[in-house]
Amino acid sequence: MNAVNHQFKLAARPVGMLKPSDWSYGEEPVGEPGDGEVLVKILYVSLDPAMRGWVNDARSYIPPVGIGEVMRALAAGEVIASNHPEISVGDHVTGLLGVQEYAVAHGAALLKVDTSLVALPVYLSTLGMPGMTAYFGLLDIGRPKEGDMVVVSGAAGAVGGVVGQIAKIKGATVIGIAGGPDKCRYVVEELGFDAAIDYKAHDLDVALGEHCSKGIDVYFDNVGGEILDAALARLSRYARVIICGAISQYNATGALSGPSNYLSLLVNHASMTGFVVTDYGDRYAEGATEMGAWLASGKLKSREHIVEGLETFPDTLQQLFSGENTGKLVLKLAGD
């Protein structure tokens, strides 16, 4: 096979906001799968806030991407050659395949998915990492009960939208926090949240006080910063705060801004617990089964924000941090 594999590699250790010169775009011959490996033609690349953390040279839950390495990314594609007994040519798979057109991976590192049930990008979205993040973070750490007040930030994002919908399924009242009237309308009208607060247009302290006059029982945080502080100030007794992300802080060059209202945990006997989705790696099937049934019955809606063209990667990734996407941001590769 003489095809060319276009790729984005990490060219420099980013400082602050990502910039085009942090990446190098190049090509190399498509690899040959070895024993137990398969060759995947990538159709969709998932763009996730976690990617900002993966390029920092810091101790974390996963080693940093090295300079000169293909940028790490979850992706979905079609198997075009296989030396693995359980994976066939034509199968659709997802995995950490990187920002490139073709990837060679061991079959054991891939997940076969069934595109007769839902479209392939949904396996990068509600039935993929963001959906699992929402499902386990909310249900295992947040433990919402019927009648609870659940607040989620980044509500129009890939994780937040699923969090709010699952909280509604569990009988909670759900308030989303998002930036801009379009996202707020989407969250209420399309996803069925009880209300949404446009933090760019309203004083969040006042708005949370109005919507959550009895306090917040579960707060699912994707953003950190001032929004986290505003939510902490409104906790109810025994509230659970889930620290899923801090997208407002990921491009900070100085010290992170810590939540100055953290003593609200003390007076309310509340807890703040963090996690990464891989902590639940051995329970994904459970999440996929339940969310798959909710998708099939229409209780749960999945929305992907699809941008075409591998070459747009640096600009498209930037949309996550400028808050342009509604739903799961996915890069669709131009190749047919």
* Contact footprint for a second copy (CB under 8 A): 60-61, 224, 229, 243-246, 249, 255-276, 279
In whole angstroms, what is the distance from residue 336 CA to residue 272 CA?
45
In whole angstroms, what is the distance from residue 266 CA to residue 282 CA?
33
Nearer to a second copy, 108 or 238 (CB): 238
Coil/strand/helix, residue 336: coil
CB of 280 to a second copy, least distance (A): 10
Q: What is 209-240 written as a DSSP string?
A: HHHTTT-EEEEEESS-HHHHHHHHTTEEEEEE
Strands 111-113 vs 92-96: parallel, antiparallel or unpaired: antiparallel
Cβ-contact 45, 71 below 8 angstroms? no
CB of 213 to a second copy, least distance (A): 13
Nearer to a second copy, 25 or 262 (CB): 262
CB of 73 to a second copy, least distance (A): 19
CB of 173 to a second copy, least distance (A): 22
CB of 174 to a second copy, least distance (A): 22
Residues 6+ apart with CB under 8 A from 128: 46, 74, 76, 94, 122
- Exposed/middle/buried for residue 324 (C-beta within 10 Å: 0-12, 13-18, 19+): middle
Nearer to a second copy, 51 or 330 (CB): 51
In whole angstroms, what is the distance from residue 13 CA to residue 56 CA?
7
HSE (side-chain half, CA atoms, 13 Å) at 122: 18
CB of 298 to a second copy, least distance (A): 33
User: Which helix (H) or strand (E) segment is 185 a member of?
Assistant: helix 181-185
Nearer to a second copy, 142 or 292 (CB): 142
In whole angstroms, what is the distance from residue 117 CA to residue 134 CA?
21
Closest CA to 39 of 47, 49, 48, 29: 29
Nearer to a second copy, 145 or 269 (CB): 269
Nearer to a second copy, 49 or 121 (CB): 49
Nearer to a second copy, 4 or 61 (CB): 61
Nearer to a second copy, 59 or 298 (CB): 59
CB of 138 to a second copy, least distance (A): 15
Cβ-contact 247, 320 below 8 angstroms? yes
Q: Which residues are registered as beta bridge partners of 27?
A: 6
CB of 45 to a second copy, least distance (A): 24
